[in-house]
Amino acid sequence: MDLPLWTIACSFAVLIPLSILVHDVLLWKRLPPGPRPLPLIGNKHEIPSHHPWIKFQEWSRKYGPIYTVWLGRRPTIVISDAVIASELLEKRSAKYSTRPRFVTMGEIYWDMASILVQPYGKEWLVRRKLLHSALTPRALENYKGLQEAESARLCYQLLSNAKDFEALFDRLTASIVFAISYGHRVDDMRSPVVRQRLEFMQYVSGLNVPGAYLVESFPALKYLPDWIAPWKAEIKRRGRIEAEANMKLVRVVEDDIESAGKSHNAAPVFNSLTKQLLENRKLDPGAFPLSERNFSFIPASLFGAGSDTTASTLCSAMLAVVTTPGILETAQAELDSVIGPDRLPMFSDIRSLPYLRALCKEVLRWRPVAVLGGTPHASSEDDHYRGFYIPKGTVILGNSWAINLNPEYYPDPDRFNPLRFLDVDSDSLPYLEHHNKSSNATANASGLAHPNKSGHSSFGWGRRICPGAELASNTLLITLSRLLWGFDIRPVPGIVYDTLDYTNGFNIRPRGLRVGIEIRSQRHRDVVAREYEAAMGFLETLTPFTESMLQLSMVSPFFGTTKNPTSAKPCSRAKATRPSSTSVITTRHLCSIFATAAHNSPTAPAPKTKHLAPSFISALLIEWMLTDKGSSKAPSS
Q: Which residues make up each annotated binding site for heme?
A: 466
Cα angle: 266, vertex 130, 478; to 5 degrees: 65
Query: Which residue, 373, 508, 498, is CA-closest to 50?
Result: 508
**Residues counted in the chain:** 637
DSSP conformation letters of 237-255:
HHHHHHHHHHHHHHHHHHH
For residues 102 and 120, give the distance between their C-alpha atoms in angstroms, rounded to a whole number: 14
Binding site members: 466
Checking DSSP bridges between strand 388-390 and strand 383-385, what pairing results, if any?
antiparallel
Burial of 300-327, coded b for 16+ CB within 10 Å and e otherwise, reads: bbbbbbbbbbbbbbbbbbbbbbbebebb
Position 95, amino acid: K
- Residue 31 in contact with residue 77, Cβ under 8 Å? yes
Q: What residues have CB less than 8 Å from 464, skipping those under 6 apart?
A: 89, 97, 375, 377
**Secondary structure of residue 66 in the 3-state scheme:** strand
Secondary structure of 489-557 as H, E, C letters: EEECCCCCCCCCCECCCCCCCECCCCEEEEECCHHHHHHHHHHHHHHHHHHCCCCECCHHHHCCCEEEC
- Distance of CA 560 to CAs 104, 365, 376, 508, 634, Å? 19, 40, 31, 28, 18
- Residue 626 in contact with residue 41, Cβ under 8 Å? yes
φ and ψ of 574, to 5 deg: -65, -35
Strand pairing partners for 378? 98, 395
- Beta strand residue intervals within 354-403, DSSP E: 377-378, 383-385, 388-390, 395-398
Checking DSSP bridges between strand 74-79 and strand 395-398, what pairing results, if any?
parallel
Half-sphere exposure of 578 (CA within 13 A, CB side): 20
- Residue 362 in contact with residue 416, Cβ under 8 Å? yes
- Residue 102 in contact with residue 108, Cβ under 8 Å? no
For residues 220 and 577, give the distance between their C-alpha atoms in angstroms, rounded to a whole number: 32
- Residue 196 in contact with residue 569, Cβ under 8 Å? no
Strand pairing partners for 555? 561
259-264 long-range contacts, Cβ below 8 Å, gap at least 24?
none
* N-term to C-term CA, the chain: 54
